[in-house]
A and B are shown apart, each in its own frame.
Chain A
């Protein structure tokens, strides 16, 4: 009944909110604000409720165990968490330098005519469907990386689809997000500051470094935005990460799994088991809480910079 009410009351709520806009504008707007807060509240609540059975049974062990054994109904998401952390780390290590490069290239290096085009190209990279990234990763990037890595160090990558592959693909996908925030900050460097930098005789490279230090809050903000994105990406990662969710590994050149792709792979058959659905929702809950924490930090940092 609850779900039914939820869905049925939604339409009248939105209509009321809209109507209110014309009568008492501010209250109408507040209703929309309430909508989004309610959605997030519902989301988190639902995850708690769904994950409860396994947390009640195992406590926090589900977050600390590895191994996925449906036969014995024993589940742990630690290997997925590790996978998420490792792929995100690789992605961030590659993406941040590129994002800085993009910001400096647009603002310092390119002639004005080209800035718009280049900026649009970077934005386009952000709008591309993730499944197309996955497709390219599956058939082009994976095998290429495998040959590359294996030429440098024989037999390191036994499969083209590893945590490393996923990390590199993620880096390409999240760079525009970090770049957008850094560009925004870079453009906000006040004119007097810029003039002062050149007045003391800095080269363009030195000026770029100074400006980047000036907007370091934005760089941190971009970092956290991209990190949140990297941790949550599902489809592209699922296609190239290798799908090995039993072995706990910290070797990025091996196949692995992330929380998002674990959910994507195991959820369809989860209802056949007693504790698998709660275990997957526990993973989703973990991801949600991580995301909330990261976003909170990011917002705090950007806002502190804005004062």
Chain B
């Protein structure tokens, strides 16, 4: 009799603790996610209002940014710059990140592979501004010779193609889109590599053996037979990595620099996050508004990529 009553008391106390404890965890968990809604709400409410005030969606997506004394404006050059640098950065990021990921995921027994993996871990959340500085330093070293020996002659040979080619290929200015894309790709490579590596290392041994057995050459086994097993993860990695670098600001500060106009990619290039960074810190209403509009556009791009990645994966 006494034993039952005792057990009942303890259970009651434990039950209360259970509810309180789980409640606390739930509160903390929700607290982690609530700011997301606050931020998305704030950006869209102010951003959509700003886009309407600044001339409507089409004008906002194609027009030039407003001076402090104008009433309307847009982020046309920024959008183009972001698209160009993100696509280039993502292509390079996947092109190098994927094989790298295969290396550190599949060939784990090699010492060098572990060294490479450590390197990837270090690089994956390196302060992005430092990566921008690195590209800035390399660019400063390389620019003059690069222009002199490679790009000047190159642009002269291909100029018959048409004037438009100078927008893409030609002697580089100190700040240009390619430096920006390079910095972005250095950020994306470790990210893609890690997810690829984890996809490959989570393949169960029997499946791997089967792939090697039926696949013939190792190349076939790894990339053709196993592709279904890893493609989901790799595509998700590619999409999420692209979303990540589309939103990066710090690495572009000293590489792409920013521009108010549609300019050649061999010169300073605009980017949406750079504009938000700059315009939000001005005391001019019209520019702050355009920062919110730009943030709304950026958020939409990222959300779209994110949702596509989630649906596919």
Q: Do chains A and B touch in the complex (CB under 8 A)?
A: yes
Q: What interface size band does chain A fall in?
A: 35 or more
Given A32-B96, A128-B302, A175-B32, A234–B129 Cβ distance below 8 Å?
Answer: yes
A295 and B122: CB pair below 8 A?
A: yes
A206 and B280: CB pair below 8 A?
A: no
Given A32-B103, A131-B249, A102–B29 Cβ distance below 8 Å?
Answer: yes
Complex CA gap A140/B20 in Å reads: 31
Interface residues of A in 1-56 (CB under 8 A from B): 1-4, 6-8, 14, 17-18, 21-22, 25-26, 28-30, 32-37, 39-40, 42-43, 46-47, 50
* Chain-A contact segment, one of B68-76, B141-149, B159-167, B259-267: B141-149
Complex CA gap A39/B93 in Å reads: 14
| Residue from A46, A120, A127, A229 with most neighbouring chain B CB atoms (10 Å) | A127
In the complex, which of the residues B20, B22, B143, B302 contacts A204, with contact meaning CB atoms closer than 8 Å? B22
In the complex, which of the residues B22, B218, B247 contacts A26, with contact meaning CB atoms closer than 8 Å? B218
Q: Does B15 contact A (CB under 8 A)?
A: yes
Q: Known pairs A8-B150, A124-B303. 14 more at Cβ < 8 A?
A: A2-B141, A4-B150, A25-B218, A33-B112, A101-B29, A105-B30, A108-B25, A131-B277, A131-B295, A131-B298, A205-B19, A205-B20, A225-B125, A232-B128
Q: Is the interface of A mostly helix, strand, loop or mixed?
A: helix
* Chain-A contact segment, one of B59-67, B131-139, B203-211, B224-232: B131-139
Complex contacts, B250 vs chain A, CB 8 Å: 130, 234-235, 260, 264
Q: List 8 A-B contacts (CB under 8 A).
A: A6-B142, A29-B107, A134-B280, A204-B18, A235-B250, A260-B129, A260-B250, A291-B125
In the complex, which of the residues A4, A133, A203 contacts B141, with contact meaning CB atoms closer than 8 Å? A4
Q: B30 CB to closest chain A CB, in angstroms?
A: 7
B32 and A125: CB pair below 8 A?
A: yes
The 8 tightest CB contacts between A and B, nearest first, are A101-B28, A129-B247, A3-B141, A105-B29, A3-B142, A232-B127, A4-B145, A33-B116
Complex CA gap A2/B36 in Å reads: 46
In the complex, which of the residues B131, B137, B139 contacts A50, with contact meaning CB atoms closer than 8 Å? B137
Complex contacts, A176 vs chain B, CB 8 Å: 32
Given A32-B103, A36-B123, A234-B129, A109–B22 Cβ distance below 8 Å?
Answer: yes
> What is the 8 Å Cβ interface bit string for chain A, positions 187-212, against chain B (1 contact, 0 not)?
00000000000000001111011000
B299 and A40: CB pair below 8 A?
A: no
Q: Does B273 contact A (CB under 8 A)?
A: yes
A205 and B43: CB pair below 8 A?
A: no
Complex CA gap A208/B123 in Å reads: 33
| Residue from A101, A131, A133, A140 with most neighbouring chain B CB atoms (10 Å) | A131
**CB-nearest residue of chain A relative to B143?**
A3
Q: Does A62 contact B (CB under 8 A)?
A: no
Q: A49 CB to closest chain B CB, in angstroms?
A: 9
Complex CA gap A4/B138 in Å reads: 8
B190 and A4: CB pair below 8 A?
A: no
Q: Does A97 contact B (CB under 8 A)?
A: yes
In the complex, which of the residues A28, A132, A233, A298 contacts B298, with contact meaning CB atoms closer than 8 Å? A132
Complex contacts, A228 vs chain B, CB 8 Å: 125
Q: Does A246 contact B (CB under 8 A)?
A: no
Complex CA gap A73/B291 in Å reads: 36
Complex CA gap A103/B32 in Å reads: 11
Q: Does A99 contact B (CB under 8 A)?
A: yes
Complex contacts, B303 vs chain A, CB 8 Å: 124
Q: Does A81 contact B (CB under 8 A)?
A: no
Complex CA gap A6/B112 in Å reads: 23
Q: B228 CB to closest chain A CB, in angstroms?
A: 19
Complex contacts, A61 vs chain B, CB 8 Å: none
**CB-nearest residue of chain A relative to B106?**
A29
A36 and B189: CB pair below 8 A?
A: yes
Q: A296 CB to closest chain B CB, in angstroms?
A: 8
Complex contacts, A209 vs chain B, CB 8 Å: 21
Q: Does A231 contact B (CB under 8 A)?
A: yes
Complex contacts, B113 vs chain A, CB 8 Å: 33
| Residue from B21, B32, B299 with most neighbouring chain A CB atoms (10 Å) | B32
In the complex, which of the residues A1, A6, A14, A263 contacts B95, with contact meaning CB atoms closer than 8 Å? A14
A35 and B96: CB pair below 8 A?
A: yes
| Residue from B18, B99, B292 with most neighbouring chain A CB atoms (10 Å) | B99
Given A128-B39, A235-B277, A291–B122 Cβ distance below 8 Å?
Answer: yes
Q: B108 CB to closest chain A CB, in angstroms?
A: 11
